[in-house]
Structure 1
């Protein structure tokens, strides 16, 4: 290649840490650029060595966000390299090490080969080197490095030393604080570091987490450090910890009861926990909902753990399958399709479901129009779903008048069956026909029959409990009261409902 960009690292801020090779490279270069002059080494080089740089500091003022700034800097460097004479190279200096938390270098690494430009990267001391020394931990113990701008989307492991770089100002520090508070207590000790290794400028401040954004001095040479901790309580918000706890409960050293359970033995628990979650939703009770959702999640984890013990799949396989399904079934979000309304989005979802079946060797067009309804759904809900599928296939009345006629027909047949003293099995079938026809009415008026019946049950319980309370206040019980008395209090409960 005849055109080149040479990238060198200026180190963490102390001129004594500059390598001899970098100094020589700086002296011999004919055209030098620096990402920012806001770095102690730049002013030292200019003063002591008489070396001048062209900086990209103005780009930070011209553009609104860091990604745009970095893309623009890389674009200008590439344009300048392309306009230079063959066989020449421009030098680009960056703070720290070019390959540590330096976005412009990553962009150059991607684009230079496409543009026919040779890219040479020369190292330099990074802020990590000084962090290991000044904060006193060995990286082999395990550490994690995050960019402050992305920390909100990251998952922390408190068992590892944590460094957060690019903490440019108080506002960034505040964002980091809020993210850390998702895992750490408000008073947990963290370390704010400024200009590590730079004589006369270094600050290492240990503060409670809630005071992190009250520390002054944040800038280009700032980072935040959270020492590693083996306190498992800090991991109680992590999915990984939940996975570990369930595995321990099922282990030989765990809980005897949990060890004995099978899919079948706890099958009913999954159903019960689901209904307890539904109850908190109906009661609009977020506190209990949080607890009940946890109980439901435990059932998922237990079933997954049982399969993990046999080597079939793990909880992480469950998550992977779900993530892949969500992405695949939302091409209007993660793909190239669009959806302007919920109906279109649902259409995309159904189309991708059919595509999934084809990929598994299932031909949707050869399946029954009623397939896909879970066998063990509650009967009322199952009837509703089956009727919706039948209607979608064209098997339906034109309007609700046909539904009313069907209800009257089935009700008459039930009355006749009872009056004629037919067998209980026959009467039961006739009753089922009545219920099934009523579900059709729910579908036509756009109501969920399961929800409708649940509302009526709650209303009945409310009124019945009012009757009990009023009888008790009168010194009576249900057993010692007449139906007339009960009806009086029942009507009273209805009137109170109308007034409320």
Structure 2
């Protein structure tokens, strides 16, 4: 080894929190003591006792990012240790060296490669004071999180949560926003300043929305979010949804849910999907939120049925999806590039082809029409089949040719309509298929086009119903001529509303 560094923890309060071993090491090492920061209650007492030290506070002013500060500290310590292998350097940090202390981790990573011997001596961490001063037992369930890296996905309301590294009001504000994704705005939280430091300790209980209005944030500040089993908090979590579906399908659950199979609720999936599409067409976010939940329930039920057989769980579904999304977006998660949507789709298709090859599928032998779901709605399936055929050149050259084909199929339908019912149905299908071709040339999704016409029909027919009601009439008391009059009136009303 070419040098020696010992990291010691100073505790979070005054000198009474120093361990005897750390105190002796500090006495032996002076003046070769280096402190991450001099802003700690112990250092005034060290000076009174003739213990000399150097701080790295100047690095905080030199860098804008904490990670850069910590990297610079580690680099300087390694340089000092390497310059004089006989010198036993002591590096002093607040609290415990292995609790929320990034520089210790950097030294653990770098010292072996640099040939520097590293030792770590513990000290009382801010967690000890948290348990003592805030009065909760971590055995009930506890997590420690970093305020500078806080995100809703890390939060679990069933655990006591202590948030460290709350250096200032800006950090507290970021923490508040992350917490509000999980907890109600008025959820009670506790802010602790300088816990265990006589004359400086402050403990404040505030509603969550006031978290960043508290004064006094600094190096010795933390936030405690007490645990809760309140159902409203659990209902925002995915694991609670999984638990509820498990209960519904259990022997003690719902008789109806227990009896369902993939086949019995197949139609539900289709219906719920179309209800979501309706909310999209209506531009109704509240209804969309509810209907998306109904679709998610269908996914959970199908996954739960397979979990009961041991085939897979919903977490396997999520894992497979995550891996596929990363794999098929090499321009986002890899080294490939995509300057536009066409490039992105090309990357997606290339990865998809690679996946098939790995499974032993010879893409050259696969039909060009493969990959179109069997049970798609007819118009949508026709559109996709035609699009795939067009990719290899099997397509009309001009839309005028498509119009001619529509006229041809219409004439064949007229001829078959009065003669053969089965042939008429076949000719009707040919006519619809030709109309889909026209939609494709016009770059109009036929399903969407027909859906718009359906909505228009409903609106105009509803107008007829309204006018009849205003006139005190029923459908039995009107005729086609009067209904046509109201229909034309509805067309004028809709045109005026758009102008």
Q: TM-score range by the shorter chain?
A: over 0.9
Contact 1:170 1:213 in 2 (8 A): yes
Per-residue deviation, residues 227-248 of structure 1 (Å, max 9, x unmatched):
2222232211000111111111
Q: Which residue of 1 aligns with 2:405?
A: 406
Taking the TM superposition and a 5 Å limit, the aligned residue runs for 1:410-489 are: 410-419=409-418, 421-422=419-420, 424-489=421-486
Q: Which residue of 1 aligns with 2:296?
A: 297
Q: Which residue of 1 aligns with 2:492?
A: 495
Taking the TM superposition and a 5 Å limit, the aligned residue runs for 1:356-375 are: 356-375=355-374
**Alpha-carbon separation, structure 2, partners of 1:43 and 1:373:** 75
Per-residue deviation, residues 338-363 of structure 1 (Å, max 9, x unmatched):
11111111111111112222232323
User: How far 1:153 sits from its partner (Å)?
Assistant: 4.6
Per-residue deviation, residues 361-400 of structure 1 (Å, max 9, x unmatched):
3232321111111111111111111111111122212232
Q: Which residue of 1 aligns with 2:19?
A: 19
Q: Which residue of 1 aligns with 2:197?
A: 198
Residue 479 of structure 1 aligns to a residue whose secondary structure is: helix
Q: Which residue of 2 aligns with 1:81?
A: 81
Q: Which residue of 2 aligns with 1:55?
A: 55
CA separation of 1:44/1:496 partners in 2, compared to 1, >3 Å: closer, same or farther? same
Residue 150 of structure 2 aligns to a residue whose secondary structure is: helix
CA separation of 1:336/1:237 partners in 2, compared to 1, >3 Å: closer, same or farther? same
Per-residue deviation, residues 255-309 of structure 1 (Å, max 9, x unmatched):
1111111111111111111111111010000011111111111111111111111
Residue 154 of structure 2 aligns to a residue whose secondary structure is: coil
User: How far 1:139 sits from its partner (Å)?
Assistant: 2.2
**Alpha-carbon separation, structure 1, partners of 2:309 and 2:47:** 66
Q: Give RMSD over aligned pairs.
A: 1.6
Runs of 4+ displaced beyond 6 Å? none
User: How far 1:66 sits from its partner (Å)?
Assistant: 1.8
Does the alignment pair 1:207 with 2:206?
A: yes
Q: Which residue of 1 aligns with 2:35?
A: 34
Count of residues in Structure 1 that have an aligned counterpart in Structure 2: 496
Segments of structure 2 that go 5 or more residues without pairing to the other structure are none
Structure 1 residues 457-466 or 50-59, which shifts more?
50-59
User: How far 1:329 sits from its partner (Å)?
Assistant: 0.8
Q: Which residue of 2 aligns with 1:72?
A: 72
**Alpha-carbon separation, structure 2, partners of 1:453 and 1:197:** 71
Contact 2:380 2:446 in 1 (8 A): yes
**Alpha-carbon separation, structure 1, partners of 2:293 and 2:303:** 15
Contact 1:246 1:305 in 2 (8 A): yes
**Alpha-carbon separation, structure 1, partners of 2:362 and 2:245:** 39
User: How far 1:24 sits from its partner (Å)?
Assistant: 2.0
What is the TM-score when the length of structure 2 is the normalising length? 0.96
What is the TM-score when the length of structure 1 is the normalising length? 0.95
**Alpha-carbon separation, structure 2, partners of 1:100 and 1:144:** 12
**Alpha-carbon separation, structure 1, partners of 2:67 and 2:489:** 67
Contact 1:195 1:203 in 2 (8 A): yes
**Alpha-carbon separation, structure 2, partners of 1:202 and 1:236:** 36
Residue 335 of structure 2 aligns to a residue whose secondary structure is: coil
Q: Which residue of 1 aligns with 2:331?
A: 332
User: How far 1:478 sits from its partner (Å)?
Assistant: 2.6
CA separation of 1:278/1:120 partners in 2, compared to 1, >3 Å: closer, same or farther? same
Contact 2:152 2:179 in 1 (8 A): no
**Alpha-carbon separation, structure 2, partners of 1:359 and 1:72:** 46
**Alpha-carbon separation, structure 2, partners of 1:278 and 1:496:** 26
Contact 2:8 2:121 in 1 (8 A): yes
Residue 203 of structure 2 aligns to a residue whose secondary structure is: strand
CA separation of 1:154/1:40 partners in 2, compared to 1, >3 Å: closer, same or farther? farther
Residue 475 of structure 2 aligns to a residue whose secondary structure is: coil
User: How far 1:318 sits from its partner (Å)?
Assistant: 1.1
Per-residue deviation, residues 114-138 of structure 1 (Å, max 9, x unmatched):
3333322222111111112222233
User: How far 1:207 sits from its partner (Å)?
Assistant: 1.8
Structure 1 residues 15-24 or 64-73, which shifts more?
64-73
Q: Which residue of 2 aligns with 1:130?
A: 129
CA separation of 1:393/1:138 partners in 2, compared to 1, >3 Å: closer, same or farther? same
Residue 361 of structure 1 aligns to a residue whose secondary structure is: coil
**Alpha-carbon separation, structure 2, partners of 1:135 and 1:98:** 22
Q: Which residue of 2 aligns with 1:44?
A: 45
Residue 394 of structure 1 aligns to a residue whose secondary structure is: coil
User: How far 1:171 sits from its partner (Å)?
Assistant: 1.8
Contact 1:194 1:204 in 2 (8 A): yes
Per-residue deviation, residues 408-462 of structure 1 (Å, max 9, x unmatched):
222222122224x12x221111111111111111111111110010001101111
**Alpha-carbon separation, structure 1, partners of 2:43 and 2:461:** 82
Contact 1:183 1:235 in 2 (8 A): no
Taking the TM superposition and a 5 Å limit, the aligned residue runs for 1:301-316 are: 301-316=300-315
Residue 351 of structure 2 aligns to a residue whose secondary structure is: helix
Taking the TM superposition and a 5 Å limit, the aligned residue runs for 1:116-265 are: 116-265=115-264
